[in-house]
A and B are shown apart, each in its own frame.
Chain A
Amino acid sequence: MLKVEQLHVGYGSLEVLHGISFDVPEGAIVAILGSNGAGKTTLMRALSGLIPIKSGKIDFAGKAVGRLVAEKRLREGLALVPEGRDLFGSLTVRENLLMGAYTRRSRTEIEQDIERILERFPRLKTRLQAHAASLSGGEGQMLAIGRALMSHPRLLLLDEPSHGLAPIIVETVFEVIEQLNREEGLTIVLVEQNAHQALEVAHTAYILQSGSIVLNGEATTLTANSAVQELYMGG
């Protein structure tokens, strides 16, 4: 569904991603693991169109989207849950959800989707009129995911969903990710530092190191890999 080939991305003269290639089959959860500064967020921004790519190809659902602006990619069904959630803090939870549907027009459909998302995240229902800035980390992550779902994505890009969350909440977030994939058939690409959690839900994974992919394979294989264990899972 998503095919990335020889992707080079950078800021000015500084190149961050040095020719990355990977494949995301429809219905899969693909994890891209890497430590701080490996280029994870840069990759997510390049995929969602927030920064331009230098060279390479991004094909989504058979269409070259690598040169499209963020809005067009969103309309194609490529939605981002940004790192650190990036909520609209002074808007309410409900308004944040509405912002996720900004490219859509049908009022009734949008209201139905809000209902659907609140069913999935009952916690948000009790906080509907609260300002997003007042949410706890876990609620915020649910809202960030809910907001992305409001755009009717076919593929969800998750930038470090575990970022800044307590371990118990991280588990809940990953359960949600797994559910979205299993119940709604949503294809998911997630970049993570928390390799342990990510490999538990992912089908396949890629290891990103200093802007290059150094290893890839089935999640179970990588979990067993001693080098991966040592580097990303604390031995």
Chain B
Amino acid sequence: MTQKPAVDQELAPDVVAQPELTGKKTLGGRLASQRVWLGCIAGILALILLPMLSDLIFGGSSDFQLHHISLIGIFILAALAQNILTGYAAQPSLGNAAFFGVSAYVLTWLSSDLGQPYWIGILAAVVVSALLGLIVGTPALRISGAHLAVATLGLVTTVGALLNFWDTTAGRQNYDLSNLPDFLNDDRTLYYFIFAIVVCLLFLSYHLLHSRVGRAWIAIRDNETAAEAFGINLTKYKLQAFVISAAMTGLAGSLYATWATTASSSMSSADQTIAFLAMIVVGGLGSLTGSILGAIFVGFLPLLLGQLPSPMVIGSFQLQISTLITGIYGLLLLLVLIFFPSGLSSLGTQAGNWLQRKPSKGGTE
């Protein structure tokens, strides 16, 4: 197919080589969606096979590893929630760790103290988080940017302190989650349980983000004035993002309590907030793949650092590695922002561009 860059070139300097992008169901579009489907199927297969592989690699005592991989699934949910709110709906809210903590306590309280079934506990945790999201989101809409970030960070530390206060007045060291269904006590079934939820929510999020609601969020992010001019109700959609994000974080929080079989006030802390933020910035703002990559990166890092001897002795220094993890998150944020300003999810595109550019460079020489 020959392209004729004649008179119209000024109107479309980069239209060349995209002749297939015309209709709704084009060849290019079909190939792209086929690739997405293939990727999804490969990913799901890998998730199903992973426990068996880890058995092969690490032998029978691999439950420790699998247990940590499950944690990544929980972080994927949390990163997804933060990304919907911050990467798509453009609300720089740092309050999600509060919902993460509260939902863990709601589940543990209902399940351990009141003896309610686990499923009721999960449901209640998600509903309470969504309601809190609504309560927090309503005033948060009137502030923006740095003010919103600082105000919601205040919420996280306040909630963390309240949960800690509850622990203290109840006179408990650990708030353990008992009364779990049997299959959740097994690392392998817990792994499958968590990743089934992750896959479902990734699927739902994908469709949500490609629906009217998702388009409205992106439009608000890209250009708030134009979005308003075309009749998008800013308040409604921002609030929706707050509630959905909070509910999702609540699910992640109650799964975390299930995973750790305990609820801890440190789940609602500035450190946790930074971890969520690091995930989406490292992974890529406004990208589903980015949420996954970021969660893997940030989720795996403590695991790897945990393998280091602590305290580490270098000469006469004793290095307490565990106290450095947050610092390393911060450093990573810095490095990724410098080298991959749009996150790890841009790696694929960047590699593609690089490969495409190479031969054309050779041609001009």
Contacts and interface: CB of A to CB of B under 8 A. Distances in A.
B22 A128 contact: yes
Contact of A86 (B26, B212, B216, B226): B226
A82 B11 contact: no
A88 B21 contact: no
A86 B225 contact: yes
A91 B219 contact: yes
B218 A82 contact: no
Contacts of B11: 123, 136, 138-139, 169, 172
Q: Which 7 pairs between the two chains have the least Cβ-Cβ distance?
A: A71-B231, A86-B226, A103-B231, A88-B222, A138-B11, A129-B21, A88-B219
Contacts of A138: 10-12
B233 A71 contact: yes
B365 interface: no
Given A80-B229, A91-B222, A139 B12 contact: yes
Given A49-B229, A127-B15, A168-B10, 7 more contacts: A74-B229, A80-B229, A86-B223, A91-B222, A103-B230, A130-B21, A134-B14
11 contacts: A48-B229, A50-B229, A74-B230, A80-B229, A98-B215, A99-B232, A103-B230, A129-B21, A129-B28, A136-B11, A147-B230
Nearest to B23: A128
A100 interface: yes
Given A87-B223, A89-B222, A100 B21 contact: no
Interface in A96-124: 98-100, 102-103, 123
A100 B22 CA distance: 20
A127 B223 contact: no
Interface in B207-237: 212, 215-216, 218-219, 221-223, 225-233
B223 A70 contact: no
A224 interface: no
B250 interface: no
B169 interface: no
Contacts of A91: 215, 218-219, 222
A86 B222 CA distance: 9
Nearest to A123: B11
B231 A126 contact: no
B230 A99 contact: yes
A75 interface: yes
Contacts of A59: none
B115 to A, nearest CB: 49
Contacts of B215: 91, 95, 98-99
B251 to A, nearest CB: 27
Contacts of B226: 82, 86-88
A95 B360 CA distance: 32
A14 interface: no
Given A123-B8, A126-B21, A166-B10, A100 B230 contact: yes
B219 A126 contact: no
A179 interface: no
Interface in A115-165: 123, 125-130, 134, 136, 138-139, 147, 151
A147 B23 CA distance: 18
